[in-house]
Structure 1
Amino acid sequence: MEPVILTHTGPSAPGRDTTGWATHEARLRDVPLRVLRGLLPATARATMIVCELRRTAPVPPLLGLPPATVSAPVVLVPEGLGPSHHRPDVVLGVDARDPAPAAIDFAFGCARVRGGSRLHAVHAWQLPPDAPRLPFGLPEVDRATWEDQEVQLLADVLRPWRAKYAEVQVLEDVRLFTPAEAVLRCSTHTALSVIGRSSRTAGWGAVTQSLLAGTTCPVAVVPS
């Protein structure tokens, strides 16, 4: 992987928000920024690739390449974002039952380079499928027990990275929502949201598409 950040400007609109975000990120990491005027090279290897996220096309084709062929983290910056360099937290969407190590490491690294930013790690969970059909409703003690188990799962997943990035403050958060909704509810005023992308998924995936359709902050999609 080359220590460089790639971004893109189209032939008609310069994408100032996207280029500005990428420029700031390159300065934080002390790596070069390379601005592309055409399609993304199929052999691109970079620290990250930064693209504009247009509201009229919330699921971008990634500059002519299918997502599954790109090995670098892709950051999608919503159009009209404006200055966001001083927003506080980095939000990480974690599936504690099927964690994405590359996404977790990337999110911790993003919080560290921002110096003092908190990593807000969010794990979404669901009640058992038969819970709504219980004759007397869901006992509160059962819900509390299940939630405690989810909290422990998240803590166990994050423990190695909390040791590796000891200087990063971490908020562990377990929420009874869908994964996309959990991240969206936590990322209204954040610097960046980070999620993983399975190598088994040819496109962006349903969770990623839902998140991109509603996000108000840049979203990093990190391949596994």
Structure 2
Amino acid sequence: MERVIVVHVGCADCEAAARWASWEAARRGLPLRLHHDGTPPAPEETELVVACARDVADLSASPCPCVLVPEGAGEPVAAETVLGVDARNPAAEAVAFAFDTARRWDVRLRAVHAWRLPADAAELPFGIPEDDRATWEDHEVHLLSGALRPWREKYPEVEVLEDVRLLSPVQALVRQSATAGLVVVGRSARDAASAVARGLVARSRCPVAVVPS
């Protein structure tokens, strides 16, 4: 069965989404299909769904990876791929999608793990000792490195930059979106539209791929 890239009908007037879908379809060598009202294409036929960022709610429960393109986005570009990853519980499907995209585009993959200080750190009377903060951060760095190790072995041709940030996930990823070609995040099957995905899509400067687990 031939796979297709689908442009969601809700963004038919969004030139940026249509342009990105056409560009990616050509890179993958797949046909492009406009999704009209009615029965959507079967998941087993659909490689990717592309839509305007404002259609995130319509696609929040899609069984296929969705790329949401900001209105007014510039020309598609094969620039750095950014992966938002929880080093404690990495979403395998999103990680695989990001590595595969970086490999096909022949670009660097930046894996961003956002972390926060322990809840009791705010109660320290004289602030957070620098040694403690460095120890906590080193621990996060090791967690991320361990989470990515099997994927780096599977995709040895992909250059990976491990990026640990003391920020919220949305803040960390929005900052990187200014120079990225694509930001990739996972979506739990139990969480149709996570706060991270909604916040990121609303503020990202580049297309965002939301990959279901």
Same fold (TM over 0.5): yes
**Amino acid in the other structure paired with 1:29:** R
Q: Which amino acid is the alignment partner of residue 81 of structure 1?
A: A
**What does the per-residue CA deviation read over 1:139-192, in whole Å, with 9 as the maximum and x for residues that have no partner?**
111110110010010010111111111111110000001111111111112110
Judge conservation of contact 2:10–2:52 (CA < 8 Å) in 1.
Answer: no
d(CA) in 2 for partners of 1:100 and 1:176? 20
Instruction: Please say if residues 8 and 38 of structure 1, whose CA atoms lie closer than 8 Å, have aligned partners that are also in contact.
Output: no
Distance of aligned partners of 1:120 and 1:83 in 2 relative to their CA distance in 1, 3 Å threshold: same
Q: Tell me what 2:25 maps to.
A: 26
Aligned counterpart in structure 1 of residue 175 of structure 2, from 182, 185, 198:
185
Contact 1:73–1:220 (Cα < 8 Å) also in 2:
yes
Letter in 1 for 2:200: L
User: Taking structure 1 as reference, are residues 174 and 2 closer, same or farther at Cα in structure 2, changes over 3 Å only?
Assistant: farther
Of 102, 117, 123, the match for 1:111: 102
CA distance in 2, matches of 1:176, 1:43: 41
- Distance, in Å, in 1 between the alignment partners of 2:82 and 2:75 is 18
- CA distance in 1: counterparts of 2:41 and 2:4, whole angstroms: 16
Gaps of 5+ in 2: none
Shift of 1:79: 0.8
- Tell me which protein shows more helix as a share of its residues: 2
- For the 8 Å contact 2:23–2:76, the answer to whether it is kept is no
1:9, distance to aligned residue in structure 2 (A): 4.0
Q: Does structure 1 residue 139 correspond to structure 2 residue 129?
A: yes
SS at match of 2:157: coil
Counterpart mapping for 1:149-160 below 5 A:
149-160=139-150
* Aligned residues of 1:90 and 1:193 also touching (Cα < 8 A): yes
Residues in 2 aligned to 1:42 and 1:138: alpha-carbon distance in whole angstroms? 53
- Listed as ranges, the gaps of 5+ residues in structure 1 are none
Residue 73 of structure 2 is matched in structure 1 by 81
Percent identity, aligned pairs only, is 52
Which position in structure 2 is the counterpart of 1:7? 7
> In structure 1, what is the Cα distance between the partners aligned to 2:10 and 2:109?
33
Q: Residue 85 of structure 1 aligns to a residue in which SS?
A: coil
Give the 3-state SS of the residue equivalent to 1:41 in structure 2. Answer: coil
Tell me by how many angstroms 1:71 deviates.
1.4
Partner AA of 1:188 in structure 2: A
TM-score by length of 2: 0.93
Give the match for residue 57 of structure 2.
Answer: 60
Partner amino acid, structure 2, of 1:135: P
Contact 2:110-2:162 at 8 Å conserved across structures: yes
- Deviation string 1:15-38 (CA, Å, 9 cap, x unpaired) is 221111011111111222212233
- Asked if the contact 1:90–1:194 (Cα under 8 Å) also holds between the matched residues in 2, the reply is yes
RMSD (Å), alpha carbons: 1.8
Q: Please say if residues 53 and 202 of structure 2, whose CA atoms lie closer than 8 Å, have aligned partners that are also in contact.
A: no
Q: 2: distance between equivalents of 1:8 and 1:43?
A: 13
Q: Judge conservation of contact 2:67–2:207 (CA < 8 Å) in 1.
A: yes
When the two structures are superposed, what TM-score results if normalisation uses the length of structure 1?
0.88
Once residues 169 and 199 of structure 1 are traced to their aligned partners in structure 2, the CA distance between those partners, rounded to angstroms, is 29
Deviation of 1:84 after TM superposition, in Å, equals: 2.5
Check if 1:217 corresponds to 2:209. no
Q: In structure 2, how many angstroms separate the alpha carbons of the residues matched to 1:61 and 1:30?
A: 27
SS in 2 for 1:61: coil
Aligned equivalent of 2:91, options 81, 94, 100 = 100
Residue of structure 2 equivalent to 1:48: 48
